Amino acid sequence: MTVAVHDVPRPALRRTLPMALAVLLVLTAIAYPLTSGAGRDVVSWTIVLLGAGLSVAHAGLSRGARGGLGLVLLVAVSAVAFESLGLATGFPYGRYEYSAALGPTLLGVPFLVPLAWLMIAWPSWVLADRLTRTVRPGRRAVVRVGVAAAVFAGWDVVLDPQMVQAGYWTWSHPAPGLPGIPTVPLTNLAGWLLAGAVLMTLLDVMVARTSVSDAPRLGDAAPLLAIAWMTLGGALAHAGWLGLPGSAAWGAGLAVPVLLALLVQHRAAQARR
C-alpha cells in the first residue's frame, strides 16, 4: 500500500526535516577525510550546503518563515561585508586570499563563504541560547551574544586549518598563531570574535522581532548535533586522518567544557521536575 506524503502529519515532517539534514551532514563530514582532490571539493560543498539548509530549515520551522528569511539575508549581507572588507584591507582578519577552487565570487567573496557562515551562525546562536537559559532576563541577551560570538569564533579554530590545508585560502602572514596551529594567524581569531559579536547582536535582535508565538518549538537537537559533530568529529578527523594535531587538540579542548555545561544544565532541569 502506498502512503501519500500528505498522510504524514505536518508536525512530524517539521521535526524530521532538520534532523534528516543534520544526519546527512554528519555522514558527509565522515567522508571528508576519506576523499581527496575533486572528490574532496564535492564533499566540502555538500557539507556547507547541508549545513546552510539545516540552519534555514530549523530557524524557519521553529521561529517562523520571517525568521528563516531574516537569517538568510542577515548572514549573507554580514558575510559579504566582512569578507570583502577583509580581502580589500586585511581588517579584521589579516591578509589572506581565496583560491579559484571555491568557484564564483561576489566582491571577491566566493558564494560558498556566506553559506558557510550560515552553517555556523545559527547553531552557534542556538547553543548560546541554551547555555544562557539560567541567566537573569535583564542580562541574558548580552551574555547570549557574547557566548554565541565565542562559539562562532571557536568553530573556526577547528575549521580554518582544515581549509588552509585543502588549499581553499592562504594567509600572507600566518604567524603568530595559536599554539599548534602555525598556518592561521591570531588576527583571524580576533576578526572572527569581532564579526561574531556584530552578527550575533543583529541576529539576536532579528530573532526577537521576527519570531512568531505560534511557531512550533522543534527542540535544538538538529543544530546541536551539527555543531557537536563538526567540532568533535572534526577534531577526530584532524588527529586521525588529516595530520592536524594542533587544531584537533583545540577542538576537543573547546568542545568538552561546553558539553559538560550542557550536561550539568540537563541534570539540573531533570532534578527540578
- Report pLDDT for 56: 97
Coil, strand or helix: which one is 1?
coil
Backbone angles phi, psi at 91, to 5 degrees: -105, 135
d(CA 206, CA 67) in angstroms, rounded, equals 7
Q: Shortest CA distance to 158 belongs to which of 234, 47, 50, 245?
A: 234
Q: CA 52, 172, 77: angle at the middle one, nearest 5?
A: 30
Query: Taking residues 94-120, what's their average pLDDT?
Result: 95
Confidence band for 16, pLDDT divided at 50, 70 and 90:
confident
pLDDT digits (tens, 9 = 90+) for 199-226: 999 999 999 999 887 666 678 999 999 9
Query: Taking residues 4-11, what's their average pLDDT?
Result: 50
Q: Which grid coordinates belong to 173? A: 602572514
* Of the listed ranges 10-19, 34-43, 75-84, 156-165, the one predicted with least confidence: 10-19
- Report pLDDT for 219: 86
Q: Where are the beta strands (DSSP E) in 139-215?
A: 169-171
Q: Which grid coordinates belong to 147? A: 557566548
Asked whether the predicted pLDDT for residue 194 surpasses 80, the reply is yes
d(CA 130, CA 133) in angstroms, rounded, equals 6
- Report pLDDT for 216: 67
DSSP string, 7-66: GS-HHHHHHHHHHHHHHHHHHHHHHGGG--HHHHHHHHHHHHHHHHHHHHHHHHHHH-HH
Query: Taking residues 169-197, what's their average pLDDT?
Result: 97
Confidence band for 4, pLDDT divided at 50, 70 and 90:
very low
Q: Cis peptide leading into 18, omega within 30 of 0?
A: no
Strand-pair category, 96-98 with 105-106: unpaired
Phi and psi based region of residue 121 (left: phi greater than 0; alpha: psi -120 to 50; beta: remaining): alpha
Asked whether the predicted pLDDT for residue 7 surpasses 60, the reply is no
Under a CB-based contact definition with an 8 Å cutoff, are residues 158 and 235 in contact? yes
pLDDT digits (tens, 9 = 90+) for 155-181: 999 999 999 999 999 999 999 999 999
Q: Which grid coordinates belong to 128? A: 548560546
Query: Taking residues 57-64, what's their average pLDDT?
Result: 93
Please state whether the predicted TM-score (pTM) of the whole model is above 0.75: yes
Confidence band for 9, pLDDT divided at 50, 70 and 90:
low
d(CA 121, CA 158) in angstroms, rounded, equals 15
* Of the listed ranges 25-39, 79-93, 210-224, the one predicted with least confidence: 210-224
